[in-house]
Amino acid sequence: MTTSRSPSPSCPCGGKTSYAACCGQWHDSFAAPTAEALMRSRYSAYVLGLEDYLLATWHPTTRPVSLGLSTQSPKPTWLGLAVKRHENATPGTAIVEFVARLRMGGGSAERMHEVSRFVREDGRWYYVDGDLS
């Protein structure tokens, strides 16, 4: 999978390492080792506009046909990510609670608070769905 590299040396997800050492490696292979790593890589994919990656890591039972990131107007400016909680209910299921901050166009900053559900199948984690609050 071909990706565009972040212009910043740090990862968009807020990880303490470079993009290449953090989410970039998952974007190249999409086999994140944990649900939290997958969620962080999905946030970075939204920041970088990697729709193919987002769809490939979305569980087939809930995956939309497209996200329309390239045609979205106004495009969001992603401002940051805070992971609040990561729990593995079973070895094959997990939840990740996070808050993402974004701004649409020239509007005020907004918070997107979600509790996301993930499932592990054939050695890969997939995003299933989430509850926004």
Cα dist from 120 to 14, 77, 94, whole Å: 24, 30, 8
Whether 115 is in a domain gets the answer: yes
Q: Say what percent of the chain tops pLDDT 70.
A: 93
Q: Say what percent of the chain tops pLDDT 90.
A: 85
- pTM of the shown model: 0.91
Whether 73 is in a domain gets the answer: yes
Whether 15 is in a domain gets the answer: no
CATH number at residue 38: 3.10.450.50
Handedness of CA 72, 76, 77, 79 (dihedral sign): negative
Whether 75 is in a domain gets the answer: yes
Residue 79 contacts residue 62 (beta carbons within 8 Å): no
Please write the tens of the pLDDT for every residue from 8-41: 579 999 998 999 999 999 999 879 999 999 999 9
Residue 35 contacts residue 94 (beta carbons within 8 Å): yes
In the chain, how many domains are there?
Answer: 1
